[in-house]
Structure 1
Amino acid sequence: MTETTPAPAPRRLFWAVVLIAVVVILLDQGSKWWAESALGNGEVVPFIGDLIRFVLVYNPGAAFSIGTEYTWIFAILTGLAVILIAWYARRVTSVGWMVALGLLLGGATTHLGDRLFRDPGFGRGHVVDFIAYADFFIGNVADIAIFVGAVMLVLLTLMGRPVSITTTPKASTSASDETPVD
């Protein structure tokens, strides 16, 4: 016979998701502030040789600068993603999902803030990118959080870990639990 123990309270884990998101937002916006104040537009500063460099660019598009003329669409889609992630975060009872959704929520929220409040204007703002990965692409801290969160989301899904569970089985150690009851 097995007993069940309650899963972690969704309310508590929701606030942990929010805390992770806030940390991502602060790290991302702080690093963007540093990049804008320390790097001249187009200046390249090697960090790990040619593998990782710092170079300031303003990206109106999505990953790999795709869709540069559709910035307002990315703002709407990002806003919807933030709402969807927050909705799912209310149901989280798994620490793995808590971390994944916190990273995704933080990354999406800070990108939404860039698109809404940065130049050239509301809903058309450009995302500040400054971490160049060889000659592959240029990103930022939010991109790292989104990537790690997305990988975690895929792994948790492939491993069959649900976002929300009500109870978890707990092995019984009492011999009397094995005795059938008439």
Structure 2
Amino acid sequence: MPEEGSVSLSASSCVRTRAGAFALALVVFVLDQWSKVYFNGHYQYGEVRPVIDGFFNFTLLYNPGAAFSFLADAGGWQRHFFTVLAFAVSGWLAWHIVKGRFSALMNWAGGLIIGGAIGNVVDRLIHGHVIDFIQLYYRDWYYPAFNLADAAICLGAVLMVIDSFKQPAGGRPEE
């Protein structure tokens, strides 16, 4: 039988992890929005400034679609679709974080995804498109431009995959 103090410590640690997930979401959101305001205010649309020659540029591009300009030319309905989708996924993740249904790693993944998703939603609601400014390339190959929110969402997805390999057969987080 666990000692009373150890149970309290475990519960306290779990609460800190959940609160930490939401703090991480807030940090991602603030850094994402700050960076987008900076690039939108200091760059002309389409302007490219090399950072690491042959690999990395800063640029200013607008993306009315989703990741990698998916559905960018769909006529406008995608803006509403991706906004609703981001709120739905963020709400689902937040609910599971609050209810303690995720492992610590999954909480962090959820925090990254929530912060990134809400960051991109704000762009869609204010500008009608997402502001992208990071461009990676090699010779004539260019990775689609992205932003900090996109990077956080991708990192969160990777952490979710890693977490899925760490779960027991029943799928519930180990305590």
Normalising by the smaller structure, the TM-score range is 0.7 to 0.9
CA contact (8 A) 2:112 2:155 kept: yes
Percent identity over paired residues: 33
Tell me the amino acid that sits aligned with residue 115 of structure 1.
Answer: R
Higher helix share: 2
CA distance in 1, matches of 2:91, 2:63: 23
Deviations 1:55-99 (A, max 9, x none): 101100011101122222111111111111111111346332222
- Residue 133 of structure 2 is aligned to residue 130 of structure 1: yes
Length-normalised TM-score, structure 1: 0.79
Q: 1:103 aligns with which of 108, 112, 121?
A: 112
Using the TM superposition, name which of 133-142 and 8-17 deviates more.
8-17
- Number of residue pairs matched? 159
Contact 2:61 2:131 in 1 (8 A): yes
**Greater RCO (Cα-Cα under 8 Å, separation 6 or more):** 1
Q: Which of the two has higher C-alpha Rg?
A: 1
Closer, same or farther in 2 for the Cα pair 1:91/1:50, shift >3 Å? farther
Select 1:149's aligned residue among 145, 156, 169: 156
Task: Give the conservation status (yes or no) of the 8 Å contact 1:97–1:163.
Answer: no
Q: Is the contact between residue 46 and residue 61 of structure 2 (CA under 8 Å) also seen in structure 1?
A: yes
Q: Is the 8 A contact 1:56 1:129 kept in 2?
A: yes
Distance, in Å, in 2 between the alignment partners of 1:48 and 1:3 is: 55
Once residues 109 and 37 of structure 2 are traced to their aligned partners in structure 1, the CA distance between those partners, rounded to angstroms, is 25
Residue matched to 1:87: 95
Q: Deviations over 1:1-32 (max 9, x none)?
A: x8585444454333211100000011101111
TM-score where L is the length of structure 2: 0.81
Give 3-state SS (helix, strand or coil) of 1:77's partner. helix
- AA aligned to 1:95 is A
Cα 1:163–1:57 change in 2 (3 A) is farther
Structure 1 runs not aligned, ≥5 long:
119-124, 169-182
SS in 1 for 2:145: strand
Of 9, 22, 27, the residue aligned with 1:23 is 27
Q: Is this contact kept in 1: 2:167–2:173, CA < 8 A?
A: no
Matching residue of 2:17? 13
Provide closer, same or farther for how the CA distance between residues 144 and 163 of structure 1 changes in structure 2, counting only shifts above 3 A. Answer: farther
Distance 1:131 1:88, change over 3 A: same
Equivalents in 2 of 1:133, 1:163: separation in Å?
38
Distance 2:15 2:172 in 1: 13
* Structure 1 CA distance for aligned equivalents of residues 28 and 125 of structure 2: 18
Indicate if the aligned counterparts of 1:64 and 1:137 stay in contact, CA closer than 8 A. yes
